[in-house]
Amino acid sequence: MNIYKMRDIINHIRSKGQLPTDEYGQTLPVDDLLVWFELDKHLSPEEQEYMKKELALLVESELFMDQLRP
């Protein structure tokens, strides 16, 4: 697994702004985010598992930042 590739993917996702949400305003589950960004087509199973962990951290961070906003 190429950690630089994983970092570039995360940086690309972060550059898009907030993560996609469902019709109720909830951030999509990490499995759905993999599909949304088409990573399921381009990453190996090992890379997908790593990316799921990274996406979960992004979701957590985004939720935390939402709580800090007035």
CA dist., res. 51 & res. 27, Å (int) = 16
Instruction: Give yes or no for a contact between 46 and 2, defined as CB atoms under 8 angstroms apart.
Output: no
**What is the pLDDT, as a whole number, of residue 69?**
82
CA dist., res. 31 & res. 49, Å (int) = 10
Across 3-41, b (16+ Cβ under 10 Å) vs e yields: eeeeeebeeebeeeeebeeeeeeebbebeebbeebebee
CA dist., res. 14 & res. 57, Å (int) = 12
State pLDDT tens for residues 9-55.
999 999 999 999 999 989 999 999 999 999 999 999 999 999 999 99
